[in-house]
Amino acid sequence: AEKALEKEEYEKAAGYVDGAINACRDTITSLKGELRSPIKIDYVKIIMGILLACSLIWLSMELWHGRIRKSGRREDKQTKEIGKSSKSNR
């Protein structure tokens, strides 16, 4: 079309432009109205989700480990008390 314009062949240039426009229309109608666009990924939400999941796992591990330590201390106190009472009964 540009070469036709340079040679002042305006009707020929208009024909090329019309052909390009019609080709675009045919392409769009062949997609049946479905324009495909790339999937947009929100990396901020993904990173926040990963951080939240890691924080919850860490918190649950801390609470679980704290219960084990507390129950271990209670068992130690109970065994010491049992040991003291058995020695005093002798």
More confident of the two residues 19 and 38: 19
The larger pLDDT score, comparing residue 60 to residue 74, is at: 60
Q: Based on the domain organization, do 29 and 56 belong to the same domain?
A: no
Burial of 60 (0-12, 13-18, 19+ CB in 10 A): exposed
Q: What percent of the chain has pLDDT over 70?
A: 72
Q: Within this chain, do residues 22 and 47 fall inside the same structural domain, yes or no?
A: no
Specify the pLDDT at position 52.
98
Q: Are residues 86 and 44 in the same domain?
A: yes
Q: Are residues 52 and 85 in the same domain?
A: yes
* Residue indicated by tokens 């109970």: 78
Task: Supply the pLDDT for residue 5.
Answer: 72
Would you say residue 80 has pLDDT above 70?
Answer: no
Q: Both 14 and 30 in a single domain?
A: yes
Flag the least confident range among 8-12, 53-57, 58-62, 69-73: 69-73
What is residue 10's predicted lDDT score, i.e. its pLDDT?
Answer: 83
Both 17 and 51 in a single domain?
Answer: no
pLDDT at 85: 56
User: Apex CA 44: angle with CA 40 and CA 50, to 5°?
Assistant: 115
Yes or no: say if 27 and 35 are a contact pair by the CB < 8 Å rule: no
Q: What is the span of the domain harbouring residue 25?
A: 1-37
Instruction: Give the number of domains in the chain.
Output: 2
pLDDT at 25 > cutoff 80: yes
Please tell me the distance from the alpha carbon of residue 26 to that of residue 36, in angstroms, as a whole number: 16
Same domain, residue pair 82 and 57? yes
